[in-house]
């Protein structure tokens, strides 16, 4: 497989959405191709970093009040 094909499969490889044969081909390829190895490593890192840039927050109390008010005024009597 050439680099272009490897790069196309990188996400499937990372997500383990890949056939065994192809997975092995990728692993063989990156042993000898620095370029694809770099792209794989940095893509994985990009995903990891994306996961940590957001901190989960709680709905602020004030907003929560508004939310429940908005819902309650719609209740059928």
7/3 Cα distance (integer angstroms): 6
Contact indicator for 29, 5 with CB cutoff of 8 Å: no
Among residue numbers 29 through 58, which ones bind Zn ion (CB under 5 A)? Answer: 33, 35-36
| Cβ neighbour number for residue 64 with a 10 Å cutoff | 11
Q: Which of residues 17-76 bind another protein (CB under 8 A)?
A: 17, 34-35, 37-39, 41-47, 49-54, 56-59, 63-64, 66-68, 70-72, 74-76
Using CB under 8 A, list all residues that contact another protein: 2-5, 7-8, 10-12, 17, 34-35, 37-39, 41-47, 49-54, 56-59, 63-64, 66-68, 70-72, 74-76
């Amino acid at each position: 497989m050439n680099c272009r094909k490897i790069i196309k499969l990188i996400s499937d490889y990372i997500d383990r959405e890949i056939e065994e044969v192809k997975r092995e081909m990728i692993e063989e390829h990156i042993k000898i191709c620095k370029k694809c190895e770099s792209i794989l490593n940095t893509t994985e890192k990009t995903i990891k970093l994306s996961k940590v840039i957001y901190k989960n927050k709680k709905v602020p109390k004030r907003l929560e009040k508004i939310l429940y008010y908005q819902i309650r005024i719609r209740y059928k009597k």
